[in-house]
Chains A and B, each alone.
Chain A
Amino acid sequence: MINRMNPSVKFVMITVSMIAMAFFFNPWTPLVFFMGVVLIQLLFATVSWKTWSLMMLPFLLGAVGYFWTTLVFGNEDSTLGTALSLSFRVLAFSSLSLLFVFTTKPVEFILSLMQQLKLSPKIAYSILVGYQFLPVLKDEFFQIRQAQQLRGVEVPKSPVKRVTAMRHLLIPMLAGAVRKAERTAFAMEARGFTGEGDRDFYRKITIGRADAAGSLLILVLLCGSMAAGWLL
């Protein structure tokens, strides 16, 4: 069901939940919310759990970092509870984000932003151009790196030097991107694209019953976890 939800509706619901979470500093609200999201994912979404665990791992590490930072550098009002709360918040946010990422098709997300949230077609189609260029640019990235390796440019070990060494890669990539952008924009305009809003979309992204049910589910979970914070 979560997979069938409209991407814009899902996006709005998830953003609202995250903002609401930000006002709670007790450990129970984010913990209950996190477990609820995992439960929703288990019952109502199709997700590869292997990939999920793999992507969750860095956030788990981040949560640990948060935990001890709050313990050591917390202000006078912070307690073990606050430290736990912030770590659980990291987990709650991450699980919510992954729920979105794993159940939403990227292209449909942009089409939906354009159809439901009235994003300008000029911007929406430009984002889609960028997205379909990704494999081309990635390929170029590795080609440039190889060519420069041959000339003796090494990837430095120190992170600061690594940031400054990026300019060697960035300049040819950006110069190429300027050229590609102009060519692609011309090709789009030559096919009559003017960026006007009144398009009749071939692929319509709709809002349906799954959205009502999904939104309700997330709202119930949100209220439930808030209640858990007050009661426990």
Chain B
Amino acid sequence: MLKSWKLKEIVLMSLFAVVFGIIYLLFLHVGNIWASLIGPIAYEWLFGIWFIVSIIVMSIIRKPGAAVIPETMAAAIEVMLGNAVGPRLILAGVIQGLGAEAAFAATRYRHFNLGVYMMAGAGAAVFSFVYGYLLGGFAALSTEYVLLMFVIRVMSGAVIAGIGGKYLVDALLATGSLRGYAITKRDAHA
């Protein structure tokens, strides 16, 4: 899978991961304080922020793996920065990255539009929810409450990661700095 990747594409993923890693960390602390007041549901509406890097990088590079790898790298970098959530973040990164990847794989990496990005955001949300369900012991909570959490998270994934990701990528594309990446290729919008 990595053979077709240029080094500059992989380093780009890593630097994006650092930029978003800084943002993720900022929000993690905000989320923590809320979590004590209103319980685990505090994070839910923010969850989309955690998926955004996979959607941005995928829409720029458009190769298999461009969603799951940056999401995992972002998690690894967060761990390196001394994030107290530690190693389980990496596992979470892999899983939510796979969720986003699944949506792009379903289109065989041929379609890159808002609908697919929102599906990818929602996909990441679904995968991460299953993981959270097991590790967070959501099974002990009432079905209504879990369903509410689930809906908020999927919405957040579709809106913040999907729409937000599309918005950021378009703004970045307009700056002219993405020259030489798949997103600027002439047939990219076909």
Which of B31-39, B101-109, B110-118 is the contact stretch?
B31-39
At the interface, yes or no: B119 with Cβ under 8 Å from chain A? no
Within the complex, the shortest CB–CB distance from B121 to chain A, in Å, comes to 14
A-B contacts counted at CB < 8 A amount to 213
Within 8 A of B (CB), among A158-185: 159, 163, 166-167, 170-171, 173-175, 177-182, 184-185
Kindly list chain A residues whose C-beta atoms are within 8 Å of the C-beta of B91: 15
Q: Interface centre among B46, B84, B172, by most A CB within 10 Å?
A: B84
Q: Interface centre among A18, A97, A177, A186, by most B CB within 10 Å?
A: A177
Hey, what's the 0/1 contact readout for B2-30 against A, CB within 8 Å counting as 1? 10011110111111111100110000011
Are B10 and A98 in contact (CB-based, < 8 A)?
no
Are A97 and B88 in contact (CB-based, < 8 A)?
yes
Classify the secondary structure of A's interface with B.
helix
At the interface, yes or no: A48 with Cβ under 8 Å from chain B? no
Within 8 A of B (CB), among A67-96: 68-70, 73-78, 82-83, 85-86, 89, 93-94, 96
Kindly list chain A residues whose C-beta atoms are within 8 Å of the C-beta of B17: 127, 130
Are B135 and A18 in contact (CB-based, < 8 A)?
yes
Within the complex, the shortest CB–CB distance from B101 to chain A, in Å, comes to 15
Kindly list chain B residues whose C-beta atoms are within 8 Å of the C-beta of A170: 19, 23, 168
Question: Who on chain A is nearest to B180 by CB?
Answer: A182
Question: Who on chain A is nearest to B133 by CB?
Answer: A22
Kindly list chain B residues whose C-beta atoms are within 8 Å of the C-beta of A14: 86-88
At the interface, yes or no: A62 with Cβ under 8 Å from chain B? yes
Question: Who on chain B is nearest to A173 by CB?
Answer: B19
Q: Which of A11, A70, A193 contacts B141 (CB 8 A)?
A: A70
Are A97 and B85 in contact (CB-based, < 8 A)?
yes
Can you list 23 A-B contacts with CB-CB less than 8 angstroms, sorted by A residue number?
A11-B87, A18-B135, A25-B139, A58-B84, A65-B42, A70-B141, A73-B39, A73-B144, A74-B142, A75-B141, A75-B142, A85-B137, A86-B140, A94-B85, A106-B80, A106-B81, A127-B77, A127-B80, A137-B19, A174-B168, A177-B12, A180-B15, A184-B11
Report A's interface with B, CB cutoff 8 A: 11, 14-15, 18-19, 22, 25, 55, 58-59, 61-62, 64-66, 68-70, 73-78, 82-83, 85-86, 89, 93-94, 96-98, 100-101, 106-107, 109-110, 120, 122-123, 126-127, 129-131, 133-134, 137-138, 141, 159, 163, 166-167, 170-171, 173-175, 177-182, 184-186, 188-189, 193, 195
Known: A11-B90, A74-B142. 4 other contacts (CB 8 A): A97-B86, A106-B82, A130-B14, A134-B18
